[in-house]
């Protein structure tokens, strides 16, 4: 029983991370048809923003020393600002480009950000301690659950709730959903394209910052590659959930998180190192059964 509970919490917390990432990708894809491969580097950027640039082995914690009620908003603003800047400087020029071209442009942008970070901070992972109290376990029905997992799940659920309220109840949310459904039609009905796209980028950047914070707290290190893995899985999650569908992206994230944890727990010991191969294999199988994704929006059907 406790083992099952532990697996459930592992799955939920890992799934939360992937869901937040998938959301950041799905929002931008919805309004722009852009698969943002720079998202992972946005995450890494937000983590490194807590450190003072130096190539020494020991990290000079800078913004990371702030109390949490200042640090969290600051990082969210940094994430949003980076994301908005990249829209204005780069992606705005690709509005009418072929998706492959946009994808490569976003990859090139991520490449630039990553090597900027490498130049400023060197490639060595640096230790960074945020809120050590969160590492302590709490007892929950007899299982030892790290406090951090609970916090991660709660934060994700809260972020999702806020986002759902925003999308369903506010004017801007309505505009964004309309734009994701049919961008041209929405523009004709008076939705300002630039506003909606900037908003989507801002939210996506904040989500990247949130992932960065959670990852840094979990791992206790700042590593240049930390965003890339989440980004890839999140990207796959959006496709499995149905590209362009916001709830689908979240569900996709949780499903992949759960699949990884369950494979990890149930595969025989020798096969455990091949867990990722099983996860990717499962992705291919899911796509073969439902190529348009599990929760594809109706508008995603190809019209002839």
Partner 1 sequence: MSKRPSVIRQTIMTPILLIVVLLIMATLSYQFGSRAFNRTAVEMFINIMVVVGLYVFVGNSGLLSFGHISFMCLGAYMTAWLAIPPVMKSITLKGLPTWLLHTQLPMWVATPISGVFAALVALVVGRVIMRLSGIAASIATFGLLGVVNNVYSNWDSVTGGQGSIVGIPPTMNVWIGWLGAAVAIAIAYLYATSRSGLALRATRDESVAASASGIDIVRERLIAFVVSAFIIGIAGALYAHFLSIVNPGAFYLRTTFITLSMLVVGGMYSLSGAVTGVVAISVLIEFFRNLEKGISLGTLKVALPNGAQEIAIGIITIVILTYLPAGLTRNREFSWRGWPMLRRLSRPVQTAVKELN
Q: What's the closest the beta carbon of residue 23 comes to partner 1, in angstroms?
A: 18
**C-beta closer to partner 1: residue 92 or 168:** 92
**Residues 8/14/18/21 CA torsion (nearest 10 deg):** 130
> Which of 239, 250, 259, 261: binder of partner 1 (CB under 8 A)?
239
Q: Applying CB under 8 A, which part among 20-28, 102-110, 196-204, 257-265 lies near partner 1?
A: 102-110
81 binds partner 1 (CB under 8 A): no
> Which of 18, 37, 45, 263: binder of partner 1 (CB under 8 A)?
37
**C-beta closer to partner 1: residue 7 or 97:** 97
283 binds partner 1 (CB under 8 A): yes
Q: What's the closest the beta carbon of residue 143 comes to partner 1, in angstroms?
A: 30
Q: What's the closest the beta carbon of residue 187 comes to partner 1, in angstroms?
A: 16
Q: Applying CB under 8 A, which part among 3-11, 29-37, 154-162, 260-268 lies near partner 1?
A: 29-37
Q: What's the closest the beta carbon of residue 198 comes to partner 1, in angstroms?
A: 19
288 binds partner 1 (CB under 8 A): yes
> Which of 97, 134, 143, 150: binder of partner 1 (CB under 8 A)?
97
Q: Is 119 exposed, middle or buried (0-12, 13-18, 19+ CB in 10 A)?
A: exposed
Q: What's the closest the beta carbon of residue 276 comes to partner 1, in angstroms?
A: 4
What whole-number distance in Å separates Cα of residue 59 and Cα of residue 126?
A: 6
Q: Applying CB under 8 A, which part among 12-20, 160-168, 249-257, 289-297 lies near partner 1?
A: 289-297
**C-beta closer to partner 1: residue 239 or 249:** 239
33 binds partner 1 (CB under 8 A): yes
143 alpha-carbon distance from chain centroid = 28
Q: What's the closest the beta carbon of residue 296 comes to partner 1, in angstroms?
A: 10
Q: What's the closest the beta carbon of residue 304 comes to partner 1, in angstroms?
A: 5
291 binds partner 1 (CB under 8 A): yes
Q: Applying CB under 8 A, which part among 153-161, 211-219, 231-239, 249-257 lies near partner 1?
A: 231-239
Per-residue 3-state assignment (H helix, E strand, C coil) for the chain: CHHHHHHHHHHHHHHHHHHHHHHHHHHHHHHHCCCCCCHHHHHHHHHHCCEECCCCCCCEECHHHCCHHHHHHHHHHHHHHHHHHHHHHCHHHHCCCCHHHHHHHHHHHHHHHHHHHHHHHCCCCEECCCCHHHHCEEEECCEEEEHHHHHHHHHHHHHHHHHHHHHHHCHHHHHHHHHHHCHHHHHHCCCCHHHHHHHHHHHHHHHHHHHHHHHHHHHCEECCCHHHHHHHHHHHHHHHHCCCCHHHHHHHHHHHHHHHHHHHHHCCHHHHHHHHHHHHHHHHHHHHHCCCCCCCCHHHCCCC
93 binds partner 1 (CB under 8 A): yes
């Amino acid at each position: 029983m406790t083992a099952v509970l532990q697996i459930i919490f592992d799955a939920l917390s890992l799934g939360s991370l992937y869901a937040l990432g998938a959301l950041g990708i799905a929002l931008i894809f919805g309004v722009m048809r852009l698969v943002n491969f720079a998202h992972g580097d946005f995450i890494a950027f937000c983590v490194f923003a807590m450190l003072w640039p130096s190539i020494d082995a020991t990290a000079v914690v800078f913004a990371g020393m702030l109390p949490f009620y200042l640090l969290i908003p600051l990082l969210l603003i940094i994430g949003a600002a980076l994301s908005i800047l990249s829209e204005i400087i780069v992606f705005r020029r690709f509005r009418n480009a072929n998706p492959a071209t946009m994808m490569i442009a976003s990859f090139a942008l991520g490449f630039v950000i990553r090597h900027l970070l490498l130049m400023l901070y060197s490639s060595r992972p640096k230790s960074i301690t945020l809120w050590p109290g969160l590492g302590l376990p709490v007892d929950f029905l007899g299982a030892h659950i790290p406090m951090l997992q609970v916090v991660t799940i709660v934060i994700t659920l809260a972020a999702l709730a806020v986002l759902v309220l925003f999308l369903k109840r506010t004017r801007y949310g309505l505009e964004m959903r309309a734009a994701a459904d049919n961008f041209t039609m929405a523009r004709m009905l008076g939705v300002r394209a630039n506003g909606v796209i900037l908003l989507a980028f801002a939210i996506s950047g904040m989500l990247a910052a949130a992932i960065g914070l959670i990852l840094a707290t979990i791992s206790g290190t700042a590593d240049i590659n930390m965003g890339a893995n989440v980004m890839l899985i999140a990207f796959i999650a959006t496709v499995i959930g149905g590209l362009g569908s916001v709830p689908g992206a979240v569900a996709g994230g949780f499903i992949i998180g759960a699949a990884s944890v369950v494979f990890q727990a149930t595969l025989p010991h020798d096969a455990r190192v091949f867990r990722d191969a099983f996860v990717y294999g499962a992705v291919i199988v899911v796509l073969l059964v439902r190529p348009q994704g599990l929760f594809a929006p109706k508008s995603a059907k190809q019209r002839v």
